[in-house]
Every structure is written in C-alpha cells, then in structure tokens.
Structure 1
Amino acid sequence: MLKASKFITLLLLVLGSSSAFAQNGTKNLRLYDQRPVHFGFYVGVNFYDFQLRMKEDISKVPDFFGVRTEVSPGYSIGIVSDLRLSHHLNLRFLPSFVNTERKLYFDMIDPYSGIRSEQERIIESSLVQAPFELKFKTERIHNHRWYVLAGFTYSFDLASKEKLEDDLIFKLNSSDLSYDFGIGMDIYFEYFKLSPQIKGFWGFQDLTIPDGTVPVSGLESTHTRGMLFCLTFE
C-alpha cells in the first residue's frame, strides 16, 4: 500500500497548510453550523482491495495453490447532504459514483494448457453508492474543528459481469454493503468550508459467486475493503 501512504502524506500536508491559511484573525462563517440543512460535494481518490479467505485446507482443492491481490487508485465523486441533529452531531447522505480497478493473481493450473502459472483476473467496477453516516464533531477552535465519521454504504456495480458465462472472468455479486469509519477536519474559509478526510470501509457481504471455476473453488469468501482520501467542499 505504498501508493496509499503517499496520498495520506499529501492529504495531511493539505490539511495542515489549509488550516494555517484559514487562521486569518477573524472567525469565518460564524453561523454556518447553525443551519439545519446544507449541501456540498466531494472529490477523492480511492484504493479498493479484497479481503480473501481461502479454504482451510487448499491442498484438497484441485489445481488451486494460492491467490494475491494488487491495488490500483481510482476516483470517487459525490454530493453531500447534511442534516444538523445537535451541536456535535450531523446525519449525512452522500450519493456517489466510484470508479476503481482491482487485480487478482491466482496460482493455479491453467484448465486449457494444464500448466501451473499465475493467472491474472482484472475486476473493473463502476459503483453507484448510497452512504449514510453520522458525523461527530468536536468544539470549534477558531476556524477549524475535528470530526469522526461512522456509517454504512450500499453499493451497486454497474460494470458487474455476474451473469456472464465465461471461465476467464472472476465474477462478483453486483450488490454490496459495507460499514465505514473516518476522520477529518472542517476548515472554515470566508465563503466556504473545506474538509479533508480519510475514510476506511469494510464489506460484510460475501461477494463470491460459486460458478465452479478453479479460482472460486479455492475461496471461502470474498469481501470488499479499502480506503478513501477526499476533499469535501460545503
């Protein structure tokens, strides 16, 4: 996850420099947090991966020897709808579009050549998401405040190939549900609020489709996991 660590470093630099820039001696957007409802948007970089659980004894699985994953960055965009519940708590709905790519490498016997090799399977996903989350905020300190997020996300993959009959495709269920946790900072400028944040998510629905192929035969379960680094403008 070297790429992810670079983005974490970049996001922290953005957060620190933006916070310093916002401290201009006056309190910006004084009544902003008193609004019952407000809107915005976010853009971000995501790193989707899989949490793969192999069969307990793969030595008993014919032609299957192991699997590894490779993560590539994708992008996420969404709309922010924020409802104020109390001084420290907000309910948020963020309809989003996510594009991402994941790669799996199966150590297996090729069913066509009969030779053991590492077989690549590429999963390209175009996800429509409906995240709901609670935002817990600290007290505002001049022009910034910290917050944490907790919620869940329903995802539907528009690019899913779950119904195709092709042994060279690693198929996944098109629907998924995950729980999410994040941390970030609200930074108040004169005319808008900027919020850099880091969020992790873990799917609790098994996406495996038992199609009888060698890659699937060695897996007990397939779950989504990943991270999102984004900037929210409100």
Structure 2
Amino acid sequence: MKKLLIIAIIIFGALPMQAQLFSGENVINNPNFDKQRWSWGYFLGFNTYDFNFDYINYQPSPLTGKDFSVDNTIGFNVGLIGNMRLSEHLDLRLEPGVAFNRINFQFFKADGDSFREINSTYVHVPLLLKFSTTRINNFKPFVVGGVSTSLNLSSNENNPDDNFEGQFRMKTNSYYYEIGFGVDLYMFYFKFTPSIRGVFAINDELVRDDDPNSRYTGNVDKMSSRAVFINFTFQ
C-alpha cells in the first residue's frame, strides 16, 4: 500500500489549494452546483489490496517470522456516482464501480507449490455519507464514511479444486466499512474531486481447503481484505 500512499501524497500536495486560498481570488465557479438535490458523475482511480490474517494458533515461520507474504500491486477503478443532497454539509452517495487488482501471495510454511497469483475483479458498491465544510472560494474539503459490498467475479468459491491443486479460493460476496477524505474543486464547467479512502472487510473471505488440517488454510481463523482507493471524480 506504500506505493499508493506515495501517489496520494504527491497528488494532494500538488493541488493549487494554497495559492487560491490565500490569493484573494473571488471568481466563483459553479456557485449553484451544490444546491442541486441530485447530481451525477463518474470516477476513475487506483487501488491496492492486502490481506489481514487471524490465526487459530499463531506459529510463524522461523525464517520469515510470519506464515504468509502478500505482495500487493496497484490496480484500477472505474464507476458511476449518484449524489443526493441532504443538507448544506451532508450528502448521501452511491458509487457502484468495478475494481481490478492482482495480489502475489506466498505460503511460507507450505511445501512445494506455495506461490499464488490472485487476479481479482470486484463489482464494488459503496453507500456513503459525505460531511463537507463550508465552501472556500472554489474548494470544499470533506470526510466520507459508510458501508459497502462487493461481488468478487474471480473468487473461485465454487471451484472443486483447492490449494493442493494450486487454486486459492475466496468467498464471492464481501462486506466492508469505508472511511476517507478529499476535496471538491469547482471548475468552470464541472466539479473535480480527488479523494482517498480506506476499505476494510468485515466478514471472513477465505474458503478453506477440503482437508480441515490443510497446511495452507487449516490454521487460519479469519482472512479479511483491506484496500486503499484513490479516486478522481467528475460531476
């Protein structure tokens, strides 16, 4: 996730916020945009996924100090936005989209074939509350939080093969809570919004191997995914 956080710092640091906030600029773009009851848009962005493991009996590898290694990569997000204005500082948002990602996964305590390349395609549907500050010139910072669900189209949940045949299986449906922040930038023709959000799974997403004593999954009490989303919204 460090790569994506570095990208986020660069993006937010490069915003010309300070120049406008203190320059005394008084040209207000789209002054009535936020008075709309409903507004629509789309987003493009990046993501990175990781796994968090809880163990029944934690016995890490003596060489690595852990049972698993997760090498996360940067994926891609795309989707639509529906926004309902509840009050001057509060909005309800639905953001259905698709997230593509790949995780390189290593079982340290397994013999033989212990590497898995997990390619995932998620249909991700968050329902979020957006809490905004008062607009300052053409900027309006906000925090956002809520819940979401996803459909993992690459889960392999119903695959009869398990890790002993080289197949890593996850549950198709997952549930999350999300929290993040961003800033609305009011342009002449549209509103542009960069944001960063943490996504944390609530349920156990691991499908165990058929053997309850499997060296791959037998000692796992719970596996849940975590993700960071950086989105760029156009409304």
Return the alpha-carbon distance in structure 2 between the equivalents of residues 221 and 142 of structure 1: 47
Q: Is the 8 A contact 2:101 2:120 kept in 1?
A: yes
Deviation at 1:31, TM superposition (A): 0.7
Q: Which residue number in structure 1 is paired with residue 200 of structure 2?
A: 202
Q: Which residue number in structure 2 is paired with residue 225 of structure 1?
A: 226
Closer, same or farther: CA 18–141 of 1 in aligned 2, 3 Å: closer
Q: Which residue number in structure 1 is paired with residue 2 of structure 2?
A: 2
**Map of 1:138-157 to 2, 5 A cutoff?**
138-157=133-152
Return the alpha-carbon distance in structure 2 between the equivalents of residues 157 and 21 of structure 1: 42
Deviation at 1:122, TM superposition (A): 1.8
Closer, same or farther: CA 109–188 of 1 in aligned 2, 3 Å: closer
RMSD: 2.0
Return the alpha-carbon distance in structure 1 between the equivalents of residues 4 and 138 of structure 2: 28
Moved over 6 A (4+): none
* Aligned partner of 2:179 among 178, 181, 188: 181
Normalising by structure 2, we get a TM-score of 0.88
Q: Which residue number in structure 2 is paired with residue 62 of structure 1?
A: none
Q: Is the 8 A contact 1:19 1:144 kept in 2?
A: no
Return the alpha-carbon distance in structure 2 between the equivalents of residues 38 and 153 of structure 1: 20
Tell me which protein shows more strand as a share of its residues.
1
Q: Is the 8 A contact 2:110 2:216 kept in 1?
A: no
Normalising by structure 1, we get a TM-score of 0.88
Q: Matched residue of 1:171: which SS? A: coil
Return the alpha-carbon distance in structure 2 between the equivalents of residues 128 and 3 of structure 1: 23
Q: Deviations over 1:31-73 (max 9, x none)?
A: 11100000011110001111111232438xxxxx711211101
Return the alpha-carbon distance in structure 1 between the equivalents of residues 167 and 128 of structure 2: 34
Return the alpha-carbon distance in structure 2 between the equivalents of residues 201 and 160 of structure 1: 18
Q: Which runs of 5+ in 2 are unaligned?
A: 61-65
Q: Which residue number in structure 1 is paired with residue 63 of structure 2?
A: none
Return the alpha-carbon distance in structure 1 between the equivalents of residues 93 and 46 of structure 2: 20
Return the alpha-carbon distance in structure 1 between the equivalents of residues 125 and 145 of structure 2: 14
Return the alpha-carbon distance in structure 2 between the equivalents of residues 2 and 186 of structure 1: 25
